[in-house]
Structure 1
Amino acid sequence: MSAEDARVSLTGKFGLKPLTKENLLFYYLPVQGTLSYTALSINVMNPSLVLRIFPRRDITNVLLFNTILGSGLYLYNRPHLSALTTKEKLLYSSFGAVTFSLGSVLIWAIVRSIVPQNVALCTACGIGSGVALIKIARTYAEHADSLVKKA
């Protein structure tokens, strides 16, 4: 078995895709964006928890950047944008990523003002709403993709 075959079978065992430029941009970075999005939900809903983990640095902007990058790359590579120019794909995927991310932050800020200040409850509301919003966004993108006529 060659080194390449061993690497492919190892990634396959864990359900991961091989490390290629395409997979890095349109699989791994979106996955990392999803993880950042989840951490961002906790950060907005329960900032004291995140401050305990990272006491010397506010990581909000890092999480927001990674969230926007990951969701933007996810949208950029969707079939419903495939017929567009690169410039249009960048514009639309950036708009979708920023709108989704900042809209989520606004939703979490509103929810945080309504939910009692309980660490576990705020964290659960952040993660739960984040998972729900990701599911809705993914289903919406898949629906838009389904409307594209296959050549």
Structure 2
Amino acid sequence: MASAPEGKKKCCGKLGLKPLTGHNILYYYAPLQGVLSYTALSVNVMNPSLILRVFPKRDITNVLLINTLVGSGLYLYSRPHLQGVSNKKRILFSSFGAVSFSLGSVLVWAILRSIVPQNVALCTACGVGSGLALVKIGCAYTQHIDSLVKQ
């Protein structure tokens, strides 16, 4: 019979999740939550009426943006290519990357929104699809940069 921690490891492994440790919360779960906020932000920019139906009394754009910035910033901060840099520069570089990625994405979505026909389903699909594509490209890029670092 497996012990409780061993049982949790097996369950988390099957779900593709990592155990709850301080490191994993900061550098796995926070970036994961950032991706969820980023996806919701894409819908918010591409189809604001949909988000207003879910949250009619509050504009959640800033909350989604802050969560996106924190998640992507922590993701970049923990990358191997920044490990040899001072903490001040790691914070500066990861903040710059997070802001550039997030606000660049908002600009892409604003341009897409002006091009795509005003169809709720199409705008939502374009927002989510382009957001996930940008996340995938960004992850592939950082993994490539990390692969150039000699450990």
TM-score by length of 2: 0.96
Distance 1:6 1:140 in 2: 35
Distance 1:42 1:6 in 2: 37
Greater shift in the superposed pair: 32-41 or 10-19: 10-19
Distance 1:111 1:146 in 2: 33
| Partner AA of 1:11 in structure 2 | C
2:79 is matched with which residue?
78
Aligned ranges 1:88-107 → 2 under 5 Å: 88-107=89-108
Distance 2:21 2:135 in 1: 25
| Partner AA of 1:93 in structure 2 | S
1:124 is matched with which residue?
125
1:54 is matched with which residue?
55
Equivalent position SS for 2:133: helix
**Any stretches of 5+ residues in structure 2 without a counterpart?**
none
Deviation sequence 1:9-54 (CA, Å, 0-9, x none): 2222212100000000000000000011000000000000010111
| Partner AA of 2:98 in structure 1 | A
1:145 aligns with 2:142: no
Structure 1 ranges of 4+ moved more than 4 A:
none
Distance 2:18 2:144 in 1: 24
1:113 aligns with 2:111: no
Equivalent position SS for 2:19: coil
TM-score by length of 1: 0.96
**Any stretches of 5+ residues in structure 1 without a counterpart?**
none
